[in-house]
Structure 1
Amino acid sequence: MREIVLDTETTGLDPATGDRLVEIGCIELINHMPSGNDLHLYVNPERDMPPEAFRVHGLSEAFLADKPLFAEVVDEFLAFIGEDRLIIHNAAFDMKFLNAELARLKRPPLPMSRALDTLRMAQARFPGAQASLDALCRRFGVDTSSRTKHGALIDCVLLAEVYLELIGGREPGLALSADKRRDGAAVQVARPFRAPRPHAASPEELAAHEEFLKKVKDPIWRRDAPNPPS
């Protein structure tokens, strides 16, 4: 099963007032586990960068000035996500911006039905608790030390771990091979060796069984068996 963890960074909160995408991050999951295949795009928003947005992601107008326009990367983006399910934290926000960019190019929108919102999943599982990505990382013990500011790709990495925990988490004791296979080959699982346990009945158990047989008429355990001990 293929899924895409997706995150974006923007110049603000509302594309209807002129805010634009500036960064897209995508990570491919195969059977809920990262495959090692990802997509990371910076996008020139063709506008200034408000100070509030810069404080969040650290992407300046000067840094983005030589980056491609969304029109130049849209085909690469759409090819990567294909028709697969999108795993997004606060999906309404990211989908709103993506569809605004697609509308500018007269491209069909991405249906909300494709998005699985981990924010809603967390709110349903932990009613009343904080459900931001940072809060969920703290709850599940996900290491965020590599992130100093919000970034689309690093947030995808964190969200992939949070998503795995939200759907049940890793089964304890299973160590997956470090070789992430993309060719469909089975992943090797390391299992500890356990010596077989003795299972012969003890003398006390045998004696109790004999007492039980005395109360049974024509027990099947006596058929074709030697005479019971007296």
Structure 2
Amino acid sequence: MSRALVLDTETTGFDPATGDRVLEVAAVELVNLVPTGRFYHQLIDPEREVPEEATKVHGFTWDMLRDKPKFAEIAPAMLEFLGDDPIVAHNAPFDFGFLDAELKKAGHRPLDRARMVDTLVLAKKRFPGLPNSLDALCRRYGIDNSMRTSHNALLDVQLLAQVYLELMGGKQPGLALAARPVASSASSIQLDAAPVARTPRPIVPSEAEIAAHAAFLGKLKEPLWSALLGEEKPAG
């Protein structure tokens, strides 16, 4: 079993070194690249004003968050959910940097960078020179992101889970992520993640088909298939 977490944060700004704080954390659990239905989500009191520029991005103000728990209060449950498994994020150093700063303030060890999987790096390798934002990747892979009118960590990780699966080679049965109402704490939901059982149906050519193939190769000069299969060129 291969477990991973797809994670996103929303913050008050761009740099924890200048006092910016985390105000939202969300993560969804994948097992063998398929969502299990388990997720973690928490809104957080950033203990400071939220600049207007940041509010325009994610829609949160400090007044909306003053009654939420502080990061130090939510850190144990968040770390328990994340466990020791790989953490997938888009522009992952940004999220890791903010979480590490918050964890240090709360008296915890930083996250192991060996766990970090950056989908932005994966996308740049696959699509060099093209836009590789989350919205751009959703459009490229035909993933419906019409509900993403503002940045929301829980919605973003659901979309990123689909993008990550595409970047890793394509859709798995049962991957159907949809926007869900925002929850205020870790809990479980069903994201239609049940895999579909499939029976292998190998295609075995008949003797007549094999003979027809050999006759066709006999008409070619040094046919590549014969070289690959270690066959002698059929007489023609």
- Same fold by TM-score greater than 0.5: yes
8 A contact 2:24–2:44 mirrored in 1: yes
- The count of residues paired between Structure 1 and Structure 2 equals 197
- Structure 1 residue 197: deviation in Å? 9.7
Provide structure 1 residue ranges, at least 5 long, that are not aligned to the other structure.
182-186, 209-230
- 1:51 corresponds to: 52
The amino acid across from 1:5 in the alignment is: V
- 2:114 corresponds to: 113
8 A contact 1:23–1:41 mirrored in 2: yes
- 1:134 corresponds to: 135
Paired residue secondary structure (1:36)? strand
8 A contact 1:175–1:190 mirrored in 2: no
- The two structures, once aligned, show a CA RMSD in angstroms of 2.7
The normalised TM-score by structure 1 is: 0.78
- 2:234 corresponds to: none
Distance 1:102 1:20 in 2: 11
8 A contact 1:176–1:190 mirrored in 2: no
Matches within 5 A, 1:63-212: 63-170=64-171, 180=193, 187-189=195-197, 199=206
The amino acid across from 1:189 in the alignment is: A
The amino acid across from 1:48 in the alignment is: E
8 A contact 1:12–1:19 mirrored in 2: yes
Q: 1:159/1:176 Cα in 2 relative to 1: closer, same or farther (>3 Å)?
A: closer
Distance 1:33 1:108 in 2: 29
Q: 1:7/1:198 Cα in 2 relative to 1: closer, same or farther (>3 Å)?
A: closer
- 1:228 corresponds to: none
Residues 147-181 of structure 1: CA distance to partner in whole angstroms, max 9, x if unpaired?
A: 2110101000000000001011026xx56798646
Residues 46-75 of structure 1: CA distance to partner in whole angstroms, max 9, x if unpaired?
A: 000100000000011111010000011100
8 A contact 1:9–1:152 mirrored in 2: yes
8 A contact 2:34–2:175 mirrored in 1: no
**Which of structures 1 and 2 has the larger relative contact order (alpha carbons within 8 angstroms, sep 6+)?**
2
The normalised TM-score by structure 2 is: 0.76
Distance 1:5 1:176 in 2: 14
Paired residue secondary structure (2:64)? helix
Provide structure 2 residue ranges, at least 5 long, that are not aligned to the other structure.
177-190, 216-236
2:17 counterpart of 1:9: no
8 A contact 1:175–1:189 mirrored in 2: no
Deviant stretches of 4+, over 3 Å? 174-181, 190-193, 196-202
Residues 109-131 of structure 1: CA distance to partner in whole angstroms, max 9, x if unpaired?
A: 10211110000000111111111
The structure with more radius of gyration: 1
Q: 1:91/1:179 Cα in 2 relative to 1: closer, same or farther (>3 Å)?
A: closer
Distance 1:54 1:176 in 2: 31
Paired residue secondary structure (1:147)? coil
The amino acid across from 2:128 in the alignment is: P
Comparing 17-26 and 138-147, the one that deviates more:
138-147
The amino acid across from 1:76 in the alignment is: A
The amino acid across from 2:50 in the alignment is: M
